[in-house]
Chain A
């Protein structure tokens, strides 16, 4: 077993490029945003919407970086490959995963799944708030607090008329997908732990400090 670890860690010195700062910053910002909005902030609170909008920006940056970033950050180097992911998982169970320059195929699928969930959660969140920016929402709340209830009336009328059903569906999807994302995140963390053990190098360090060996 020890032998495998040694060969895994030293098979191709320098073949694993470091994660660049944009990848690292976006990764941890999104993780923090998801955790904060899932566990800390009250659903529907202004701060919840603020964080959601910030996460939207960071996700957009990561997706942009997936097109113009350095090679291992680009989508082209970790295209979704379910078969590759499966064989990687089998290798992992045998304790002999291969090293990959970018995400490993299973990790890549997880990244896409998490991003897709995040996009859905953000999208439904926008539907639920009528696409109002958190600034507008806090202005409206301030107006209501000051005694001007006209906003509420307009809101009620809009709700009555058109998208009562759509709003409820959005809310339902928002919650379900958010929970799904949390479950995926737990699996993601477990996967990183198992893979770090098998490879004999701490994958988390690469995502924190950049250097991957």
Chain B
């Protein structure tokens, strides 16, 4: 599974790198521009200065393109950030509402959430500083309140909603539809 936070961090580093290169390009370009300007004043039509002017124009155009690209990357990443936040918030809200509907106690909610995150009874007990037997009893009560047979069905309860409307595709032809 790809950790979205880690890809975001990588993306951020990449952006910083791009920006750094852009600053360097600008510093380089300004010296070229100064040189070209001086050359054009002293010897307007010498082949040397015309060529230099062309190179400088290309460099400046490159900087502009780079800036434009970076701006698009930044905007796209922010949109992803927002979507991810919204999805997380939504899922948390849905889980909270469902726990409420099953009338779980606060302790059971905490345990249920940890169980959904994939921790087993011993790990949950370690985090909560409780005895494993207590956690196991809580899990049993949660499953019975939810009317599920066990952990797998409990987790599937929430995933099922997300998969709503997606019929099981024939093997090997998993089409991804992205809007």
Chain A residues in the interface with B (C-beta under 8 A): 14, 17, 20-22, 24-26, 29, 53-54, 56-58, 60-61, 64-65, 68-70, 131-136, 210
Q: Given A21-B18, A22-B70, 15 other A-B contacts at CB below 8 A?
A: A17-B78, A20-B19, A20-B74, A22-B67, A57-B27, A57-B28, A57-B30, A58-B23, A60-B30, A61-B22, A61-B67, A68-B71, A69-B71, A70-B78, A131-B38
Selected from A17, A21, A26, A133, the residue in CB contact (under 8 A) with B34 is: A133
A21-B16, A21-B19, A61-B26 known; A136-B70 Cβ under 8 A: no
A126 shortest CB reach to chain B, Å:
9
Taking a contact as CB atoms under 8 Å apart, the answer to whether B34 and A53 are in contact is: yes
Taking a contact as CB atoms under 8 Å apart, the answer to whether B23 and A26 are in contact is: yes
Taking a contact as CB atoms under 8 Å apart, the answer to whether B78 and A22 are in contact is: no
Taking a contact as CB atoms under 8 Å apart, the answer to whether B29 and A57 are in contact is: yes
Taking a contact as CB atoms under 8 Å apart, the answer to whether A64 and B31 are in contact is: no
Taking a contact as CB atoms under 8 Å apart, the answer to whether B15 and A21 are in contact is: yes
* List of B residues within 8 angstroms of A21 by Cβ: 12, 15-16, 18-20, 70
A17 closest partner in B (C-beta): B78
By the criterion of a CB under 8 Å from any partner CB, how many residues of chain B are at the interface?
29
* List of B residues within 8 angstroms of A54 by Cβ: 27, 30
* List of A residues within 8 angstroms of B29 by Cβ: 57
A54 shortest CB reach to chain B, Å:
5
Is the CB of B120 closer than 8 A to any CB of chain A?
Answer: no
> Contact flags (1/0) for B59-78 with A, using CB distance below 8 Å?
00001100110110011001
Is the CB of B4 closer than 8 A to any CB of chain A?
Answer: no
Selected from B16, B30, B38, B75, the residue in CB contact (under 8 A) with A132 is: B38
A69 closest partner in B (C-beta): B71
> Contact flags (1/0) for B142-165 with A, using CB distance below 8 Å?
000000000000000000000000
Bound complex: CA of A210 vs CA of B35, how far in Å?
35
B16 closest partner in A (C-beta): A21
Is the CB of B137 closer than 8 A to any CB of chain A?
Answer: no
Chain A contact residues, majority secondary structure: helix
CB proximity to A under 8 Å, residues B1-56 = 12, 15-16, 18-20, 22-23, 26-31, 34-35, 37-38
* List of A residues within 8 angstroms of B37 by Cβ: 131
Is the CB of B96 closer than 8 A to any CB of chain A?
Answer: no
B28 closest partner in A (C-beta): A57
Bound complex: CA of A60 vs CA of B29, how far in Å?
11
Taking a contact as CB atoms under 8 Å apart, the answer to whether A58 and B38 are in contact is: no
A136 shortest CB reach to chain B, Å:
7
A25-B19, A133-B38, A136-B38 known; A53-B12 Cβ under 8 A: no
Bound complex: CA of A60 vs CA of B64, how far in Å?
12
Taking a contact as CB atoms under 8 Å apart, the answer to whether B23 and A53 are in contact is: no
A13 shortest CB reach to chain B, Å:
9
* List of A residues within 8 angstroms of B78 by Cβ: 17, 70
A52 shortest CB reach to chain B, Å:
10
Taking a contact as CB atoms under 8 Å apart, the answer to whether A65 and B30 are in contact is: no
* List of B residues within 8 angstroms of A61 by Cβ: 22-23, 26, 63, 67
Is the CB of B85 closer than 8 A to any CB of chain A?
Answer: yes
B68 closest partner in A (C-beta): A68
* List of A residues within 8 angstroms of B71 by Cβ: 68-70
> Contact flags (1/0) for B67-94 with A, using CB distance below 8 Å?
1101100110010001001000000000
Selected from A26, A56, A136, the residue in CB contact (under 8 A) with B30 is: A56
Taking a contact as CB atoms under 8 Å apart, the answer to whether A25 and B35 are in contact is: no
For the complex of A and B, list the 6 residue pairs with the smallest distance between their C-beta atoms, beginning with the closest.
A21-B19, A57-B30, A133-B34, A57-B26, A21-B16, A57-B27
